A and B are shown apart, each in its own frame.
Chain A
């Protein structure tokens, strides 16, 4: 049990605890804050796995973007201090049983699967230099095509959001002229 394992268990407990509180908290604003802590914990797990670029992206996009967007929409749509309508207990018990069964099933599968071909001979080099070169290269390991497709997707999502959230024009505006 060295310091790295202790760090891993601490980060995992933090992620799972914050995640459980995020889905069970009765106040919606507190749920959003617990989600924020869970996402920060996942970024810490990426730092622990030494993929610093993904961790930075996680913090910038999720913590700085999506959670802030969710908090804004909570403020826009409802009273954030109010308690939410609670679900019936039977449904809660059924859902908890389904989740526990799923966790146990996958846990069992992972424990009894020993076909992982570990490859620790070659170095793992996730530097920003390497990621950037590979993302924009057109060779067989390049990712230029998904990169361009994702840029079109972001443009489409942006225009779609503006069109959906736009207040509809007054219907009698042209008749009054």
Chain B
């Protein structure tokens, strides 16, 4: 357990965050952009748990932040999917390129 230093866990979460950022930049479909955002939120959760475990083992604040982030991510995903389904009803497409009414 202690053979793996904290920095290697941080590398994993950094790489996962930038994978999510790459997806957010290249995808044009709203559902896949939402999936990229979920990956980025998860990388932040890994960081919270790792810092809590390695640096501050005497209290559990990082775990509680992780719990609340998971809860808020669930609420965010539900609202986002409701908006996406509504957009699909009015535009028949969920590409960001097709929803340009509020541009400029």
Q: Could you list which residues of chain A lie within 8 angstroms of chain B, going by C-beta atoms?
A: 2, 4-5, 8, 12, 15-16, 19-20, 22-24, 28, 31-32, 35, 38-39, 42, 45-46, 49-51, 53-54, 57-58, 61-62, 65-66, 69-70, 73-74, 76-78, 84-85, 87, 91-92, 94-96, 98-100, 102-103, 106-107, 110-111, 116-120, 122-124, 126, 130-131, 134-135, 141, 143, 146, 150, 153-154, 157-158, 160-161, 164-165
Q: Which of B56-73 contact A (CB under 8 A)?
A: 56-61, 63-64, 66-68, 70-73
Measured between beta carbons, the chain A residues less than 8 angstroms from B45 are 42, 54, 58
Measured between beta carbons, the chain B residues less than 8 angstroms from A85 are 28-29, 95
B102 adjacent to chain A (CB < 8 Å): no
- Decide: A73 near B16, CB < 8 A? Known: A31-B35, A99-B22, A153-B72: no
Output the least CB separation between A63 and chain B (Å): 11
Identify B78's interface contact among A58, A62, A161, CB under 8 A. A161
In the complex, besides A20-B19, A46-B49, A61-B73, 4 extra interface pairs with C-beta distance below 8 angstroms are A95-B22, A106-B18, A135-B64, A150-B68
A84 to B72, CA, bound (A): 29
Identify A35's interface contact among B21, B39, B78, B79, CB under 8 A. B39
B83 adjacent to chain A (CB < 8 Å): yes
A122 to B57, CA, bound (A): 6
Would you list 9 pairs from A and B whose C-beta atoms are within 8 A, ordered by A residue? A23-B27, A39-B42, A62-B38, A66-B73, A95-B22, A110-B10, A130-B60, A134-B60, A135-B64
Is the beta-carbon distance between B58 and A122 smaller than 8 angstroms?
Answer: yes
A119 to B8, CA, bound (A): 17
Identify A77's interface contact among B18, B55, B88, CB under 8 A. B88
Output the least CB separation between A26 and chain B (Å): 10
Measured between beta carbons, the chain B residues less than 8 angstroms from A117 are 55
Contact digits for B15-54, partner A, Cβ 8 Å, 1 yes 0 no: 1101111110111110110111011001001100110111
